[in-house]
């Protein structure tokens, strides 16, 4: 087990290094720089500013310096936001994205699993067809369509909920973004749950449980659901990657001060260090979550041995 974790972490190092290297050189290949503004700086001042951030040194040296900084846990200063370090910016914005993502995955799991179980319990019945039809739509309709449409309906026309803004994370402001972010995941999770349940309900131990005279809800919840949930665990990694991508759009639609919104703006402004910091955080998050999913899987399924 420990050896497995160690080996996975060892593989993560070259992956992260590749991520950092690619992002670093791509960012630097972009035309323009962080100090291009409408009002042109005098050459003297621009030279001083560049020297202050070490941008006047050869690219290779800058790269090595940056790597050394990352090893020390120092992601450098922001080039656009004066007197703020990248770490500060991440600390200010990450909670918004994490809260959004956490709530969305929670909502998606609960709703998705419930719908999947319902569909499987009434296999080929009306509920089943309805749930699976909705699931197909949910997979196909992207967040940037559901987002504006829900805002149009619930904020502009009905006026029940605010159409955007963070407002210190008040629940009324959270409802629409969380629902929009969760919808595609609800669709996938309900499909996976249904498939797992249908297979589990055919197993012999289910027949045994029924023969013992257990009530149907107990058979489903205690016996079938346990086995059916296993494939969901391995979906955890892809689900989080999907949430990250979705958050880019959702934070923009609802004007939320999260990481996703910052990423695109910073990339357009050539704020090299902030972009790099976010790429590292996202890549790290995906690596860690995939590792957690594998560990959880092994913990739940005694047939899997990690070596």
Partner 1 sequence: MRRLALGSPRAAQVLEQAARGRSLWDDARRRLMRNKAAVAAMAVLGLLALAALVGPLLVGFGYDEVRKADVWLPPLAGGHLLGSDALGRDLLARLLMGLRVSLAIGLVATAVSLAIGVAWGATAGFAGGRTDEAMMRLVDVLYSLPFIFFVILLMVTFGSNLVLMFLAIGAVEWLTMSRIVRGQTLALKQKEFVEAARAAGLTHAAIIRRHIVPNLLGPVVVYATLTVPAVILAESFLSFLGLGVQPPMASLGGLIADGAQQMELAPWLLIFPSATMIVTLVSFNFIGDGLRDAIDPKDR
Q: Is 16 left (phi over 0), alpha (psi -120 to 50) or beta?
A: alpha
35 belongs to the binding site for partner 1 (CB under 8 A)? no
Residue 245 contacts residue 156 (beta carbons within 8 Å): no
Torsion angles phi and psi, residue 302, rounded to 5: -65, -15
> Which range in 35-43, 150-158, 197-205, 223-231 contacts partner 1 by CB under 8 A?
150-158
b/e per residue 122-142 (b: at least 16 CB within 10 A): eeeeeebeebbebbeebeeee
Please identify which residue in 77, 101, 116, 147 interacts with partner 1, judged by CB under 8 A.
147
Please identify which residue in 15, 21, 65, 123 interacts with partner 1, judged by CB under 8 A.
15
The number of beta carbons lying within 10 Å of the beta carbon of residue 230 is: 17
Give the nearer residue to partner 1 in terms of CB position, either 69 or 163: 163
d(CA 190, CA 118): 9
> Which range in 55-63, 76-84, 117-125, 146-154 contacts partner 1 by CB under 8 A?
146-154
The neighbouring-strand residues paired with 85 are 77
Q: Could you give the string, one character per residue 229-268, with x where binding to partner 1 holds by CB under 8 A and - elsewhere?
A: ------------x--xx--xx--xx---------xx--xx
Q: What's 176-214 look like in SS3? A: HHHHHHHHHHHHHHHHHHHHHHHHHHCCHHHHHHHHCCC
2 belongs to the binding site for partner 1 (CB under 8 A)? no
Give the nearer residue to partner 1 in terms of CB position, either 236 or 278: 278
33 belongs to the binding site for partner 1 (CB under 8 A)? no
Give the nearer residue to partner 1 in terms of CB position, either 67 or 283: 283
Torsion angles phi and psi, residue 254, rounded to 5: -95, 5
Q: How far is the CB of 296 from partner 1 (least distance, A)?
A: 18
Segments of 64-180 assigned E as strands = none
* DSSP type of residue 154: I
Interface with partner 1: number of residues (CB under 8 A): 44
Of residues 151 through 180, those in contact with partner 1 by CB under 8 A are: 151-152, 156
CA distances from 155 to 120, 151, 170 (A): 35, 5, 15
Give the nearer residue to partner 1 in terms of CB position, either 224 or 239: 239
The neighbouring-strand residues paired with 77 are 85
The residues that touch partner 1, with contacts defined as CB under 8 A, are 14-15, 18-19, 22-23, 26-27, 29-31, 136-137, 139-142, 144-145, 147-149, 151-152, 156, 241, 244-245, 248-249, 252-253, 263-264, 267-268, 275, 278-279, 282-283, 286-287, 290
């Amino acid at each position: 087990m420990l050896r497995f974790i160690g080996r996975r972490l060892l593989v993560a190092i070259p992956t992260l290094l590749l991520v950092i290297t690619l992002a670093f050189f791509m960012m630097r290949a972009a035309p323009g720089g962080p100090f291009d503004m409408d009002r042109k700086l005098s050459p003297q001042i621009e030279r001083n500013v560049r020297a202050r951030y070490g941008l006047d040194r050869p690219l290779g040296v800058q790269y090595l310096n940056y790597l050394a900084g990352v090893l020390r846990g120092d992601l450098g200063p922001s080039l656009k936001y004066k007197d703020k370090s990248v770490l500060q910016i991440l600390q200010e914005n990450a909670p918004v994205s994490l809260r959004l993502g956490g709530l969305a995955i929670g909502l998606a799991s609960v709703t998705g699993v419930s719908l999947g179980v319902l569909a499987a319990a009434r296999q080929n019945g009306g509920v089943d067809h309805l749930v699976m039809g909705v699931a197909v739509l949910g997979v196909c309709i992207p967040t940037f369509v559901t987002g504006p449409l829900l805002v149009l309906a619930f904020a502009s026309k009905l006026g029940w909920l605010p159409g955007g803004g963070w407002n210190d994370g008040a629940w009324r402001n959270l409802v629409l973004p969380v629902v929009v972010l969760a919808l595609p995941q609800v669709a996938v999770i309900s499909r996976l749950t249904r498939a797992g349940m249908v297979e589990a309900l055919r197993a012999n131990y289910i027949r045994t449980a029924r023969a013992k005279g257990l009530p149907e809800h107990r058979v489903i919840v205690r016996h079938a659901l346990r086995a059916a949930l296993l494939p969901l665990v391995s979906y955890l990694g892809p689900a989080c990657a999907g949430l990250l991508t979705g958050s880019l759009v959702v934070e923009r639609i609802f004007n939320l001060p999260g990481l996703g919104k910052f990423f695109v703006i910073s990339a357009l402004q050539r704020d090299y260090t902030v972009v790099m910091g976010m790429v590292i955080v996202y890549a790290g998050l995906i690596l860690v979550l995939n590792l957690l999913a594998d560990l959880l899987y092994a913990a739940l399924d005694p047939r899997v041995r990690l070596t």
